[in-house]
Amino acid sequence: MQNYAFLFMILLPFLNSCGPVPGNGEADPPIAARHETLLVMHGDTRIDNYYWLRDIENPDVISYLKAENAYLEAMMAHTASLQEALFEEMKDRIKQDDESAPYYLNGYYYYVRYETGAEYPIYCRRQGSMEAPEQVLLDVNELAAPHPFYRVGSYDISLDNRWMVFTADTVGRRQYTVILKDLATGQLRPTGISYAGGDVVWAADNHTVFFNAIDPVTLRYNRILRYDFLQDDEAKPVYDEGDETFYYIGVSRSKDNRYLMINANSTLSNEIWLLDAGDPTAEFQVFQPRQRDLRYRVWSYNGKFFVLTNHEARNFRLMETREETTGINHWQEVIAHRDDVLLENLEVFENFLVVQERDRGLRQLRILDMVSGQEHYLAFDEPAYTAHIGVNPEISTPVLRYNYTSLTTPNTTYDYHMETRETTLVKQQEVMGDFAPTDYETRRYDVRARDGVDVPLTIVYRKGIERDGDNPLLLYAYGSYGSSADPRFNINALSLLDRGFIYAIAHVRGGQDLGRQWYEDGKLMKKKNTFKDFIDCAEFLISEEYTNPARLFARGGSAGGLLMGAVINERPELFKGVIAAVPFVDVVTTMLDESIPLTTAEYDEWGDPRDKDFYGYMLSYSPYDNLREQEYPHLLVTAGLHDSQVQYWEPAKWVAKLRQYHTGDANIFLYTNMEAGHGGASGRFQRLREVAREYAFLLDLAPR
């Protein structure tokens, strides 16, 4: 029994009678009813007047969300033509009948293509050659037709190339069903399996699949099940994770097809289990038992395993061990730990290893020849870019597929011959219209933060702007979970850049941009570094005369929405407008409620507020708990009704409380997608509508 209590005062919620007046741009915002809920912990009592918005079964909650949507539509009605223009120009930049770079696997070339006007992808393959007849594996447009939301989670092809298994989400809450397809007849075979987690792989017998499953209440990925479609009526559990801090239990097959692999993950630790792919009814065997703060990944190779691990190596090192001796005491070092270089990923080939590293915030690809012992790095020339290992399913090839992009270079796929060192362009994202990368410029700075630490900052703009302190500028950051904010090409952002905006990325602490220490310095009891870094980057951009507070905007989503909320509580005058997408803003209340999806798994990221010290620290920055009477900037807040990662009520409560405390004239908007979850709309053009709304919000506030 938890040592805190909730005292609810249950009253019928109500909304004010002043609803929006559609179309005229003048309306009274919906005012949510206030009903006191007392939240008591560690002798501290918090009053939450909007706790009632959690009850999705209450029709007044849905009415309130719809009223907010209507208010937004009314107040932004004067931007309707701008939104339509933005939508059309973003759509016109897309090569609508595009297809991905094909990759070769087990006798077939696989690729994904789109048709003109279609919202969803079509998964295809051709046998032996791209000149062979096309076989359509999945036309997601047909599958999605009866649903307002549709997303394919993952898929796998049996080793005999006869069967396909895939997962589908029709709500947006990451609750998948498992579906089989007979590729010889084209018939779909529903399995009746629901609450799957998205991962699904074939065993080597071609009739047994393994998949992960989620708890229907907490939505924690906590089980692995086996399903033999020739013999079983029901899926059988083979792994059940009892530790609630282990939030994601996934399943995959090794690149050499020898092993099925279960990976149980928590924030700080993980544990891998292996099974011979040819013996699917046998028992999984642990590779290395879990230890606190031990993380590792394994790759099967020619009778041994490569192990990428943080064992006695904060930034990870590469080890190897024999198949019969997988315990940590048998691991032998291949690449040593370095304090200034993070080892991120590995790709194994018959004669080569490719190591993805992060050095001074930028990724490097390191090629090791396992025959000659020689090594070299690929060369990248731009001051800020993103390079990463691509799709490489074949092990017996000397060709590495990798991807490259930057703020000015569209997404590009290359094949690199590791023996001859020749690079071949496979595909570059096509930007329709008169786009030219040379029209734009990227710069990278090290911003000295208030505690003396240098924070990387990357900016891009259209050449010709003047540094007169009067440019509209959008500053983005995330800063949590060790997720690095890499500079990537954003085709939609051209609509801002071509209208005079500067776009900037603050690589704040909490990400992993400068290694594992960078992450650890922006979490738990150091979380406020994330917020301070962002503010310091904003002030740098002002001091360098790129912009000014009347033309400075900010955007962050999910945990980046927490960043937005904390920053505007601390320095609201610094920004003209802020976009907070599906923001995690009610930190303490959420982290005290174990029934909310993912809560228990987040203790190592945010802290456990059942501990008094963590409670006090989290309470000191929680955006919802620190709202006060002051002028806030213009705000556009988004939510997804079916969001499983940040529940819809967090942004809804936050907006309701903001209206209570906001003393200025700035607009506060809430948009809830009533048919989607954390990622928004599932169709590619549907998503553009949401982007157009955000851009219109910014441009309306930054006229030239």
What pLDDT is stored for residue 395 in this prediction? 95
Per-residue pLDDT for 680 more than 80? Answer: no
What the block records as the tokens of 255 is 């690149």
Neighbours of 428 (CB within 10 A): 16
Task: Give the integer Cα–Cα distance in Å for 538 and 552.
Answer: 8
What span, in angstroms and rounded, lies between the C-alpha atoms of 453 and 353?
34
Per-residue pLDDT band for 484 (boundaries 50, 70, 90) equals very high
Q: Is it the case that residue 690 has pLDDT exceeding 50?
A: yes
DSSP state of 646: S
Say what the pLDDT of residue 676 is.
79
> What local confidence, expressed as pLDDT, does residue 597 receive?
67
Mean pLDDT of the chain: 93
Residue 186 amino acid letter = G
* Residue boundaries of the structural domains of the chain: 340-431
Does the pLDDT of residue 14 top 60, yes or no?
no
pLDDT score recorded for residue 683: 79
What pLDDT shows up at residue 8?
Answer: 24
- Checking if the pLDDT of 12 tops 70, the result is no
pLDDT digits (tens, 9 = 90+) for 550-561: 999 999 999 999
Regarding beta strands 208-214 and 236-240, do their DSSP bridges make them parallel or antiparallel, or are they unpaired? Answer: unpaired
- What percentage of the chain carries pLDDT values higher than 70? 96
- What is the number of residues in the chain? 704
Please choose, from the candidates 683, 674, 640, 579, the residue with its C-alpha nearest in 3D space to the C-alpha of residue 66: 674
Confidence band of 536 (pLDDT split at 50, 70, 90): very high
Q: Of 431, 391, 382, which Cα lies nearest the Cα of 414?
A: 391
Cβ-contact 561, 640 below 8 angstroms? no
Answer whether 588's CB lies under 8 Å from 614's CB.
no
Q: Are strands 454-462 and 502-506 parallel, antiparallel or unpaired?
A: antiparallel
Predicted confidence band of residue 22 (pLDDT cuts 50, 70, 90): very low
Q: Is 87 helix (H, G, I), strand (E, B) or coil?
A: helix
Beta-bridge partner residues of 317: 309
Q: pLDDT (tens digit, 9 = 90+) per residue, 91-114?
A: 999 999 999 999 999 999 999 999
Residue 196 has pLDDT above 50, yes or no: yes
pLDDT digits (tens, 9 = 90+) for 625-660: 999 999 999 999 999 998 888 999 999 999 999 999
Helices (H), 95-196: 140-144
**pLDDT for 684:** 87
Residue 696, helix vs strand vs coil: helix
pLDDT (mean) for 685-696:
94
Q: pLDDT tier at 704 (50, 70, 90 boundaries)?
A: low
Our separate counts of H helices and E strands in the chain read: 12, 39
Query: Higher-confidence residue: 704 or 138?
Result: 138
Residue pLDDT, tens place only, 288-323: 999 999 999 999 999 999 999 999 999 999 999 999
Q: Is the pLDDT of residue 6 over 60?
A: no
**pLDDT value at position 323?**
95
Residue given tokens 């559990």 in the structure block: 237
Residue 311 annotated as catalytic: no
Query: What 3-state class would DSSP assign to 230?
Result: coil
The one catalytic residue among 158, 300, 558, 682: 558
In angstroms, the CA 173 to CA 178 distance is 15
Q: Is 643 a catalytic residue?
A: yes
Comparing 19 with 504, which gets the higher pLDDT? 504
State the pLDDT at residue 76: 97
Lookup: tokens for 328: 């940590």
234 token code pair: 């029901």
Average pLDDT over residues 566-592: 97
Q: What is the pLDDT of residues 435-482, one digit of tens each?
A: 999 999 999 999 999 999 999 999 999 999 999 999 999 999 999 999
pLDDT reported for residue 17: 31
Instruction: Report angle CA 339, 343, 348 to the nearest 5 degrees.
Output: 150
CB-based contact 416:441 (threshold 8 Å): no
Q: How far apart are CA 583 and CA 36, in angstroms?
A: 23
User: Is the pLDDT confidence value at 549 over 80?
Assistant: yes
Residue 194 reports pLDDT greater than 70 = yes
pLDDT at position 551 is: 98
pLDDT of residue 24: 43
Which pLDDT does position 7 carry in this prediction? 25
pLDDT digits (tens, 9 = 90+) for 386-439: 999 999 999 999 999 999 999 999 999 999 999 999 999 999 999 999 999 999
Helix 528-543 and helix 559-570: axis angle, to 10°?
Answer: 60
Distance separating alpha carbons of residues 447 and 604, to the nearest angstrom: 28
Quick one: tokens of 129? 């050659």
Reported pTM: 0.92
Mean pLDDT of 17-31: 58
Encoded tokens for 559: 């945990």
Q: If you average pLDDT over residues 369-391, what whole number do you get? A: 95
Of 144-148, 182-186, 449-453, the poorest mean pLDDT is in 144-148
The torsion defined by the Cα of 241, 244, 248 and 251, in degrees rounded to 10, comes to 0
pLDDT at res. 25: 56
- Bridge partners, 367 (sequence order): 354, 376
Query: Which of these is catalytic: 156, 521, 625, 643?
Result: 643
- Please say whether the beta carbons of 122 and 114 come within 8 A: yes
| 330 is an active site residue | no
